[in-house]
Structure 1
Amino acid sequence: MEVIMNKASSKFGLLGMVLALNMVSGHGAAAEADSVLAEGKSKTVAAQTSQNKIDKLAGQTYDILQDFRLVNKQLEGIKVYNAQLEKQLENQQKTMLDIAFSIENATVIERQIIPLAIKMLDALEQYVNLDIPFLRDTRLTSISQVRENLQATHFSTSEKFRQVLELYDIESEYGSTIDQYSGLLGVEGKERKVTFMRVGRIAFLYQSSDQNHTGVWNARDKKWDPVDSSDFRSSTAKAIRIAKKQAAIDVLDLPIAFPEVAK
């Protein structure tokens, strides 16, 4: 019986040792597994961190690439702008040279313009004095005013010459227009209010308001000749109404003065 129990005890002892060994072995494997899992987790975190860094670097690289492309495009635009600017500068330099040349020539021309303008005014003044005497005082006053302007410093040379040419244009227009204006004239020893009538430079007449006195300028003898014909008086009155735009334009018989023969 003792032998049997000893044998049984021996078996249970072996079994306990085996179980104990198994328990020790189980705890070691679990610890090793935890270590492996922890290490794997650490590597996963490290890998994720590395991937995040890679993604961040990739994003920064893309941004840098986009900035480079933008800057490169801006540089191309600046190159084109600079090329255009250089061309403009070349054109401006050429223009400045042309202006300098023009100014040099203009200085020479300017010294010749004023003497020419003075001669033109002298000739125009002489012409007005020889012309039929319509608005003579007004025309001579205009010439005198322009003559004074030639000596003024606040007018440019071109403006002075323009004023002279304007007087010539006005005198030229008188030859193709009709006009009437009121004034005083000595008729038969008495000063009377009359209407002067000009038809181009062909005829220059006057007529009193009562139409009893009508006359035509005699350019050859430089005097007024009375008009006795009733027909001429009537046509002169109608011509005055036409000039005043009180009657329609019509064909009229008017007394014509003798033309001035140029000498």
Structure 2
Amino acid sequence: MRAAVLSWQRITQYQGAVMVRNAKTLLLATALGMILGAGAQAAGNKQKLKSAVSTQESAEKAAAASQKKIDSIADQTDRMLTEYKLTMRQYDALKGYDDQVARIVKSQNEELATIDAQLLEIDTTNQGVIPLMERMVDTLEKFVALDVPFLPEERAKRIAGLKALLDRADVTVSEKYRRIMEAYQVEMEYGRTIEAYTDDLSVNGKKRSVDFLRIGRMTLMYQTLDKKETAVWDNKKRAWQILPEEYRKPAMLGLRIARKQAPPDLIKLPVPAPETAQ
């Protein structure tokens, strides 16, 4: 009985030992499996991490390329915008210039139309003005011929110049008229001034230098340079009249006054009697 009990105890101990050994073996296998599983998982995670890093790098490269392209497009857009603004400013300037030119052309066309109308009027006016100016010159020539004969060469030259002026095509009608009126004005001034000058005089076929004294158009006298002869012009007889000795000194004084060599003074000179107007 005791032997049987011991045997049972041994069997029981043996079974416990086997169970413990199996349990250890199971724990060792489990631990080994866990270790192997963790290693495999770590390797998988590493591969995933590596793949993720590669994906991230590819994404960053793609993003960098995209940003570079965006920057290039942005620069191109800025240049296009600048060129557009410059073109618009040029367009505005050209449009303003074109508008101004159009206004100038319109104004010039209107002025041309006005000038054409004036030319037609001038042609009509010239038909009456040109003959009038010719009559004015002829009248002035006749007046000088009938007037007291002072400065004959100067006045004749002035009238000859007016006649030549009337035949010139390069001189405007207004300039011709102005010159004629200027000549009339000069003749009018002769009637309000006194003058002394030296010139040649022909009397009875003899030519000699004398001093002339003109007082307006009332009196024209001459005195020889030796002061021995004094004469006055008789416009009715159209001849010179020799004056007596009493007019020698007054004539000398009149010549000095006209030349501003003496102050104005009363002098006794022959003056023709006024004529009754007809």
Q: Normalised by the shorter chain, which TM-score bucket?
A: 0.7 to 0.9
Of 88, 100, 119 in structure 2, the residue corresponding to residue 72 of structure 1 is 88
Structure 2's unaligned 5+ residue stretches are: 1-17
The residue aligned with 2:3 is none
Match of 1:102 in 2: 118
Q: Which residue does the alignment assign to 1:81? A: 97
- Are 2:199 and 2:211, in contact at CA under 8 Å, matched by a contact in 1? yes
Deviation at 1:19, TM superposition (A): 4.6
Query: CA–CA distance in 2 between the matches of 1:174 and 1:95?
Result: 44
Post-superposition offset of 1:9: 9.2
Q: Which residue of 2 aligns with 1:111?
A: 127
CA distance in 1, matches of 2:137, 2:273: 23
Equivalent positions of 1:163-174 (< 5 A) are: 163-174=179-190
1:37 is displaced (CA, Å) by: 1.0
TM-score, with structure 2 as normaliser = 0.75
Calculate percent identity across the aligned residue pairs.
30
Query: Is residue 219 of structure 1 aligned with residue 235 of structure 2?
Result: yes
Q: CA deviation at 1:131?
A: 0.9
Q: 1:216 is matched by which residue type in structure 2?
A: V
- How many angstroms apart in 1 are the aligned matches of 2:63 and 2:205? 132
Match of 1:255 in 2: 269
Counterpart check, 1:236 vs 2:228: no
CA 1:190 to 1:61, structure 2 compared with 1: closer, same or farther past 3 Å?
A: closer
Shift, 1:43, TM fit: 1.1
**How far apart are residue 241 of structure 1 and its match?**
3.0
In structure 2, C-alpha distance between the alignment counterparts of 1:23 and 1:259, rounded to whole Å? 159
Give yes or no for contact 2:250–2:269 (8 Å, CA) kept in 1.
Answer: no
Aligned twin of 1:179: 195
User: Bigger CA drift: 89-98 or 170-179?
Assistant: 170-179
What is the Cα deviation at residue 124 of structure 1? Answer: 0.9
CA–CA distance in structure 2, aligned partners of residues 154 and 71 of structure 1: 51
Give the equivalent residue in structure 1 for 2:15.
none
- Cα distance in 2, alignment partners of residues 225 and 257 from structure 1: 12
The answer to whether the 8 A contact 2:254-2:267 is kept is: no
Aligned pairs for 1:184-195 (under 5 A) are 184-185=200-201, 191-195=207-211
How many equivalent pairs are there?
Answer: 259
Measured against aligned partners, the alpha-carbon deviations of 1:43-100 in whole angstroms (never above 9, x if no partner) come to 1222232233333333433443344344334434444333333332322222111111
Pair 1:190–1:14, CA change in 2 (3 A) = closer
- What are the Cα deviations for residues 117-137 of structure 1, in whole angstroms up to 9, with x where unaligned? 221122111111111110224
Q: Does 1:61 align with 2:77?
A: yes
Give the drift of 1:237. 2.0
What's the offset of the Cα at 1:183? 2.6
Structure 1 residue 196, shift from structure 2 partner: 0.8
1:102–1:190 distance in 2 versus 1, CA, 3 Å: closer
The AA in structure 1 aligned to 2:219 is: A
Structure-1 separation of matches of 2:42 and 2:49: 11
Mark the CA change 1:36 to 1:248 in structure 2 (over 3 Å): closer, same or farther. Answer: farther
Q: Is the 8 A contact 2:212 2:223 kept in 1?
A: yes
Confirm whether residue 42 of structure 1 aligns to residue 58 of structure 2: yes
In terms of Rg, which structure is larger?
Answer: 2
CA distance in 2, matches of 1:188, 1:109: 50
User: Contact between 1:180 and 1:197, CA under 8 Å: does it hold in 2?
Assistant: yes
The 2-side partners of 1:87 and 1:259 are apart by 70
Identify the range of structure 1 (15-24 vs 250-259) with the bigger mean alpha-carbon deviation: 15-24
Q: Which runs of 5+ in 1 are unaligned?
A: none
TM-score (norm 1): 0.79
Structure 1 counterpart of 2:212, from 196, 206, 218 = 196
The alignment partner of 1:96 has SS state of: helix
Deviation at 1:5, TM superposition (A): 11
More deviation, 129-138/71-80 = 71-80
